[in-house]
Amino acid sequence: MSFVETLEPVTMNEPPTETSPEPVAASSPAVAAEAPRPVEEEALIEIENLGFSYDLGKTETLRDISLKIPKGKVTSFIGPSGCGKSTLLRCLNRMNDLIETAKVTRGTIKIMGQDIHAPDVDAIELRKKVGMVFQKYNPFPKSIYENVAYGLRIQGIKTRSVLDEAVERSLHHAALWEEVKDRLNSSALGLSGGQQQRLCIARTIAVQPEVILMDEPCSALDPIATARIEELIAELREDFTIVIVTHNMQQATRVSARTAFFYLGELIEFGPTETVFGNPAKKQTEDYVSGRFG
């Protein structure tokens, strides 16, 4: 399976080349001097000219999206409701395959260099590498332990010590272990909403994905539970590439290094979060991030 292929050499931390400096706006030298310089970074996900349709190609819900999502960072998708954020997120692990009339109309998505629509790519294998956490936390009506062990059991792992170790590690990683270690055999449905969402994150990371997709993971949670998930995202980014859809712009600025702004099925702007929010290149982005529409 080519999803374990080695990646391109890491270039993320190398200094940018000096050959083609960005044009400097004469009117704002201070801002220009501080603006982040373009850095070659390693793209884990490369989306090229992607088009997507829910009705067999009659209308395109996503049009000509090109985007390189860097490895080991958090990338936010923002934009008004209905602009296609969730659709694009679900394209990344081929969740839309489950919709009969859904169709990629053009373009490619490569993850770790592999075209995810190539005939030899199995969507189930892909989803192990590209896990997903949903808006409405959805633990199974099983014990806390079995929720986390679920993906491993599907892989055929039966050895108790291996499962125990993975469950404990994943719950630690999801910042839930201390709260549940004495009741691993209790129903997951007895946990609070915030705990259930962290359990879903533990379930996702138990199978050691490369990428975690999160679709508005905090929108059903109160502010305290939301803050805990945001702290958790900050820790998880050490080990995973995270793509998060959020309608909460403060959240995007708090958790993500990169932000992509979408409008009506198109990618309008993509860049460092501080640039997209603080110094956007496009008027539509500026209007949206300043709350003028959306």
Residues in contact with ligand ADP by the rule CB under 6 A: 54, 61, 79, 81-87, 99
Closest CA to 103 of 156, 140, 44, 54: 54
Which of Mg ion, ligand ADP, none is residue 83 near (CB under 5 to 8 Å by kind)? ligand ADP
Position of tokens 């400096």?
Answer: 21
Question: Whose Cβ is closer to ligand ADP: residue 72's or residue 80's?
Answer: 80
CA dist., res. 166 & res. 202, Å (int):
10
CB of 243 to Mg ion, least distance (A): 13
Angstrom CA distances, 102 to 8, 59, 90, 160, 265, stand at: 32, 11, 11, 40, 15
Question: Whose Cβ is closer to ligand ADP: residue 99's or residue 281's?
Answer: 99
Question: Whose Cβ is closer to ligand ADP: residue 95's or residue 152's?
Answer: 95
Q: How deeply is 32 buried, as exposed, middle or buried, from its count of CB atoms within 10 A (0-12, 13-18, 19+)?
A: middle
Question: Whose Cβ is closer to Mg ion: residue 43's or residue 78's?
Answer: 78
Which of Mg ion, ligand ADP, none is residue 38 near (CB under 5 to 8 Å by kind)? none
Stretch that binds Mg ion, among 81-89, 94-102, 136-144, 181-189 (CB under 5 A): 81-89
Position of tokens 């630690």?
Answer: 172
Closest CA to 171 of 153, 196, 134, 141: 196
Angle at 220 between CA 219 and CA 225, to 5 degrees: 90
CA dist., res. 228 & res. 74, Å (int):
16
- For residue 86, state whether it binds Mg ion (rule: CB under 5 A): yes
Which of ligand ADP, Mg ion, none is residue 127 near (CB under 5 to 8 Å by kind)? none
Q: Residue 59 has what DSSP assignment?
A: S
Question: Whose Cβ is closer to Mg ion: residue 148's or residue 212's?
Answer: 212
Question: Whose Cβ is closer to ligand ADP: residue 170's or residue 246's?
Answer: 246
User: At a CB cut-off of 8 Å and minimum separation 6, what does 78 contact?
Assistant: 85, 245, 246, 247, 249, 252, 259, 260, 261, 262, 288, 289
Taking residue 187's Cβ as centre, other Cβ atoms within 10 Å add up to: 15
Which of ligand ADP, Mg ion, none is residue 81 near (CB under 5 to 8 Å by kind)? ligand ADP
CB of 244 to ligand ADP, least distance (A): 12
Read off the tokens for 174. 């999801």
CB of 255 to ligand ADP, least distance (A): 18
Which of ligand ADP, Mg ion, none is residue 194 near (CB under 5 to 8 Å by kind)? none
CB of 77 to ligand ADP, least distance (A): 8
Question: Whose Cβ is closer to ligand ADP: residue 84's or residue 272's?
Answer: 84
Q: Residues in contact with Mg ion, total (CB under 5 A)?
A: 1
- For residue 196, state whether it binds Mg ion (rule: CB under 5 A): no
Stretch that binds Mg ion, among 6-14, 86-94, 102-110, 265-273 (CB under 5 A): 86-94
Q: Do residues 236 and 173 make contact, with C-beta atoms less than 8 angstroms apart?
A: yes
Q: Which residues bind Mg ion (CB under 5 A)?
A: 86
